[in-house]
Protein backbone atom coordinates (compact mmCIF):
# COMPACT_ATOMS: atom_id res chain seq x y z
CA UNK A 1 0.00 0.00 0.00
CA UNK A 2 2.88 2.38 0.76
CA UNK A 3 3.83 2.19 -2.92
CA UNK A 4 0.72 4.21 -3.73
CA UNK A 5 -0.08 6.43 -0.75
CA UNK A 6 1.41 7.31 2.64
CA UNK A 7 0.10 5.06 5.40
CA UNK A 8 -0.91 6.77 8.64
CA UNK A 9 -1.87 4.67 11.65
CA UNK A 10 -4.72 6.10 13.75
CA UNK A 11 -3.68 5.18 17.28
CA UNK A 12 -6.58 6.42 19.37
CA UNK A 13 -9.53 5.76 17.08
CA UNK A 14 -8.39 2.18 16.52
CA UNK A 15 -9.09 1.34 20.17
CA UNK A 16 -12.57 2.84 20.32
CA UNK A 17 -15.63 0.80 21.20
CA UNK A 18 -18.52 2.65 19.54
CA UNK A 19 -21.65 2.94 21.60
CA UNK A 20 -24.88 4.91 21.90
CA UNK A 21 -24.28 8.31 23.46
CA UNK A 22 -20.73 7.65 24.68
CA UNK A 23 -17.89 5.93 22.90
CA UNK A 24 -15.81 3.67 25.08
CA UNK A 25 -12.25 2.62 24.41
CA UNK A 26 -9.50 0.23 25.38
CA UNK A 27 -6.83 2.92 25.82
CA UNK A 28 -4.38 0.37 27.24
CA UNK A 29 -3.93 -1.00 23.72
CA UNK A 30 -2.83 2.31 22.17
CA UNK A 31 0.88 1.80 22.79
CA UNK A 32 1.11 -1.90 21.83
CA UNK A 33 -0.84 -1.35 18.62
CA UNK A 34 1.19 1.75 17.72
CA UNK A 35 4.39 -0.22 18.34
CA UNK A 36 3.14 -2.99 16.06
CA UNK A 37 2.37 -0.42 13.35
CA UNK A 38 5.87 1.04 13.72
CA UNK A 39 7.37 -2.45 13.48
CA UNK A 40 5.67 -3.22 10.17
CA UNK A 41 6.35 0.25 8.82
CA UNK A 42 4.02 3.20 8.50
CA UNK A 43 4.65 6.74 7.35
CA UNK A 44 3.11 8.46 10.34
CA UNK A 45 0.80 8.33 13.31
CA UNK A 46 -2.38 10.15 14.26
CA UNK A 47 -3.31 10.30 17.93
CA UNK A 48 -5.56 12.47 20.02
CA UNK A 49 -4.10 13.82 23.24
CA UNK A 50 -5.41 16.15 25.92
CA UNK A 51 -3.89 17.74 29.05
CA UNK A 52 -6.75 16.17 31.04
CA UNK A 53 -7.86 13.32 28.79
CA UNK A 54 -10.70 12.21 31.06
CA UNK A 55 -12.19 15.71 30.76
CA UNK A 56 -12.00 15.96 26.95
CA UNK A 57 -15.30 16.89 25.29
CA UNK A 58 -14.82 14.33 22.51
CA UNK A 59 -13.40 10.81 22.63
CA UNK A 60 -12.33 11.15 26.26
CA UNK A 61 -12.06 7.38 26.69
CA UNK A 62 -9.49 7.03 23.94
CA UNK A 63 -7.53 10.28 24.23
CA UNK A 64 -4.00 9.94 25.52
CA UNK A 65 -2.66 12.08 28.33
CA UNK A 66 -0.68 14.86 26.67
CA UNK A 67 2.31 14.19 28.94
CA UNK A 68 2.60 10.63 27.58
CA UNK A 69 3.04 11.67 23.93
CA UNK A 70 6.80 12.47 23.99
CA UNK A 71 7.59 9.05 25.49
CA UNK A 72 5.32 7.26 23.03
CA UNK A 73 6.90 9.05 20.07
CA UNK A 74 10.40 8.23 21.35
CA UNK A 75 9.54 4.53 21.53
CA UNK A 76 8.01 4.58 18.06
CA UNK A 77 11.08 6.32 16.65
CA UNK A 78 13.36 3.65 18.17
CA UNK A 79 11.26 0.86 16.65
CA UNK A 80 11.23 2.58 13.26
CA UNK A 81 15.00 3.07 13.39
CA UNK A 82 15.50 -0.63 14.18
CA UNK A 83 13.60 -1.55 11.01
CA UNK A 84 16.01 0.37 8.80
Residue 72: Cβ within 10 Å count: 18
Query: What residue spans define the domains of the chain?
Result: 9-83
| pLDDT reported for residue 31 | 95
**pLDDT per position in the chain (84 positions), as tens?**
888 999 999 999 898 887 766 667 888 999 999 999 999 999 999 999 999 888 888 888 888 999 999 999 999 999 999 987
The answer to whether the CB of 52 falls within 8 A of the CB of 16 is: no
| pLDDT reported for residue 21 | 65
Q: Which residues neighbour 17 within 8 Å (Cβ) at sequence distance 6 or greater?
A: 23, 24, 25, 26, 61
Amino acid sequence: MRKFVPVIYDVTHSVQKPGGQLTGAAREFCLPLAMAAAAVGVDGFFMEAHPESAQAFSDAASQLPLTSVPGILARLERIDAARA
